[in-house]
Amino acid sequence: MAAFFIFQKDVNIVFMLFDTHCHLNFDDFNSNRDEIINRCLSNDIYIINVGADYETSKKAVEIAGKYEKGVYSSVALHPHNVDKEKFDYKKFKELAKNSKVVAIGECGLDYAFCENDEKTQKLQQKVFVEHLKLAKELNKPVIIHSRRLFPEILKLLHDTGYMLRGVLHCYMGRWSYAEEYLKMGFYISFTGLITYARDYDKVIKNTPLERILIETDAPYLTPEPIRKPENSPRNEPQYVEYVARKIAEIKEIPFDQVASQTTQNAKELFNLV
């Protein structure tokens, strides 16, 4: 499928893509993880595997260690997991010191499964602030997960006064919130969701290309045209190309420009230049 576009590279259209957020560290990829990564690298697609708890963070670091370049990791306890595992600052810090750990995340707030549970909400806030502290201590950017709670996250970021760099992953908010985060120097990242939901076109149009990152969030959020409404096939980093193509279409600019600028943005944010 994506091979059609990748094939174009052979006729001298050279581009690189950077999937800044995927989960090849998850068990979903146990059967052919290395094959997928090697395919990405031979097609000039770089990736960051993002941890969601201690085990998947450790796994992300291990995977990154197997490849000389192009495969990186990020470590954190996802807000959904704060009541399943205690956030062990010291253990995460040891892991995050690894040079292949380019960010702290995904961390943030998501009350989808604890709407009426103030205790878990408070715990999420506490754990998120611990992640911000870790990012500050190790001078690494943050990858933020937010479901609707943009003002709450903004407040916690301001309250710490840390002046962190970072990205709002899988952005699903309105333009006015994006604008606030852009003012703070944050990047906005888009997934395959933008290939079929039109709710974010305004945000994409208004956000300067220099502040946009692309990602798949694989195995989730498979983009059009790979996606099937029922029983969608597993997402993979190579499909990040469809996200870049949709941004090019919405912004009415060449695909190559989106590919090269978003790659440069990722290298800048994650200190890979």
Chain residues binding Zn ion by CB under 5 A are: 217
Q: Give the Cα separation of 165 and 186 in Å (integer).
A: 6
Q: Which residue, 53 or 217, is less far from Zn ion as judged by CB? A: 217
Q: Which residue, 105 or 150, is less far from Zn ion as judged by CB? A: 105
58: closest CA among 37, 36, 76? 76
- Contact in structure between 148 and 173 (CB atoms under 8 Å): yes
Q: Which residue, 130 or 217, is less far from Zn ion as judged by CB? A: 217
Q: Minimum Å distance from CB 24 to Zn ion?
A: 11
- Collapse the DSSP code of 132 into the 3-class scheme (helix H, G, I; strand E, B; otherwise coil) and give the result: helix
Q: Which residue, 217 or 241, is less far from Zn ion as judged by CB? A: 217
Q: Minimum Å distance from CB 167 to Zn ion?
A: 12
Q: Which residue, 6 or 82, is less far from Zn ion as judged by CB? A: 82
Q: Minimum Å distance from CB 4 to Zn ion?
A: 27
Q: Minimum Å distance from CB 151 to Zn ion?
A: 22
Q: Minimum Å distance from CB 252 to Zn ion?
A: 29
Q: Which residue, 25 or 265, is less far from Zn ion as judged by CB? A: 25
State which residue has the least CB distance to Zn ion. Answer: 217
Please provide residue 221's backbone torsions phi and psi, each rounded to the nearest 5 degrees. 55, 45
Q: Which amino acid is at 194?
A: I
Burial 63-79 (b: 16+ CB within 10 A, else e): bbeebeebbbbbbbbbb
Burial 13-43 (b: 16+ CB within 10 A, else e): eebbbbbbbbbbbbeebeeebeebbebbbeb
Q: Minimum Å distance from CB 169 to Zn ion?
A: 6
Element (H, E) at 104: strand 101-109
265: closest CA among 218, 215, 224? 215
Q: Which residue, 21 or 246, is less far from Zn ion as judged by CB? A: 21
Strand arrangement, sheet containing 45-50:
17-22, 45-50, 71-75, 101-109, 142-146, 166-168, 187-190, 212-214
Q: Minimum Å distance from CB 217 to Zn ion?
A: 5
18: closest CA among 46, 49, 48, 60? 46
